[in-house]
A = this chain, B = another copy of it.
Amino acid sequence: MSASTIDLAVIPGDGIGPEVTAEALKVLEKAAAAEGLVLQQTHYVLGAQHWLETGETLPEDTLADLRTRDVILFGAIGAAPGDTRIPSGLIERELLLKLRFSLDHFVNLRPSRLYSGVGSPLADPGEIDFIVVREGTEGPYVGNGGVLRAGTPHEVATEVSLNTAHGVERVVRDAFRRASERPRKKLTLVHKHNVLVFAGHLWKRTVEAVAQEFPEVTHDYLHIDAATIFMVTDPSRFDVIVTDNLFGDIITDLAAAVTGGIGLAASGNINMERTAPSMFEPVHGSAPDIAGQQKADPTAAILSAAMLLEHLGFAGAARKIETAVVADVESRDGGFRSTSAIGDAIAAAL
């Protein structure tokens, strides 16, 4: 990245991915220009549709090329649920998870905030403003496991969750640092250490150890089952949640739901060691049922673009996008606006 150019990789993907990504780029272009930044885009055609046409998920040379970029903007991937031509989960694993793992995106950052004017399914949501720091490169997501005697009455299938001190410590430290920079300075570890003893104790011990470096941060612990209860009865109690890959997947979807839906939930797959480009993507999927109809809400993609700018050091530009998004969201009256109308409005407000 030269001082004035962002070398941006764009993976629009499937379904509504291209539509929401177009709006995110619209806003990103405008915000970048205001900072005197040039956005140099390289688009990569990847996803379920591409696999159907070519049999390719993420070729090694494409991955190598992606590695040379400053940062990646990701739309959404995945075929329609009923599409039996694609082995289930193939694109998710061989493209999305492969990117997260190969590029060492160990901080899967997912902020949750209930904007005023946005409806929550909760009767009395209170103020909700927390972030989830989800580990992104290990845990039950490693794809380690197997099947014995598949398809027989004696089949045994295993899944191995792999957790390392290296992997847990770096994400826990990142979460503490983020907590220390927030007004409430509170960290909650979510796990299930009373049952998953081996992994759970590694997480618990690591939190206790890293806590020593951040005496200003208070911390507590919740089992994942109890955490889901608090997410609907007292979401205000959360400030920073740190958790593993699978529990993070679950709790962030629930968090998105209580803060008005995954149309608003942004995320970053961040390599904090900056040994490879980070990747920013809305939490939502490709929603094939509404694809190409300008019905998708691009807000999550636009907020993901703001996180991208923040990661690159342009916190001011990120704040401006967020401010424009908040103003737009607060002014919504429930009437229909097309995907591009929302993008236009937010870009215009910058």
Chain A contact residues, CB within 8 Å of chain B? 88-89, 92-93, 97, 120-124, 140-141, 143, 145-147, 149, 151-166, 169, 192-202, 204-205, 224-226, 228-229, 231-233, 246, 249-250, 252-254, 256-258, 261-262
Contacts and interface: CB of A to CB of B under 8 A. Distances in A.
A227 to B, nearest CB: 9
Per CB-CB distance, the 9 closest pairs between chain A and chain B, nearest first, are A89-B194, A225-B253, A155-B165, A228-B254, A123-B123, A159-B161, A157-B198, A145-B198, A229-B257
Contacts of A140: 140, 159, 161, 195-196
Chain copies in the assembly?
2
Contacts of A146: 198
Given A156-B163, A162-B156, A163-B157, A193 B249 contact: no
Given A232-B254, A254-B228, A92 B195 contact: yes
Contacts of A192: 246, 249
Given A122-B232, A226-B253, A97 B159 contact: no
Nearest to A204: B88
A164 B160 contact: no
Contacts of A153: 165-166, 169
A257 to B, nearest CB: 4
17 contacts: A89-B197, A93-B195, A140-B196, A145-B198, A146-B198, A147-B198, A147-B201, A153-B166, A155-B164, A157-B198, A158-B161, A159-B161, A192-B246, A195-B249, A228-B254, A229-B256, A232-B258
A155 B202 contact: yes
A50 B35 CA distance: 67
A106 B222 CA distance: 26
Given A229-B262, A232-B257, 11 more contacts: A88-B204, A89-B193, A92-B195, A140-B161, A140-B195, A141-B195, A157-B198, A159-B160, A159-B163, A228-B257, A232-B254
A197 to B, nearest CB: 6
Contact of A143 (B160, B197, B205): B197
Given A92-B195, A151-B205, A258-B232, A160 B160 contact: yes
Contacts of A149: 165
A186 to B, nearest CB: 17
Contacts of A231: 254
A194 B93 contact: yes
A182 B31 CA distance: 56
Contacts of A198: 145-147, 157-159
A224 B199 contact: no
Given A121-B124, A250-B224, A93 B197 contact: yes
**Max chain B CB contacts within 10 Å: which of A143, A166, A250, A253?**
A250
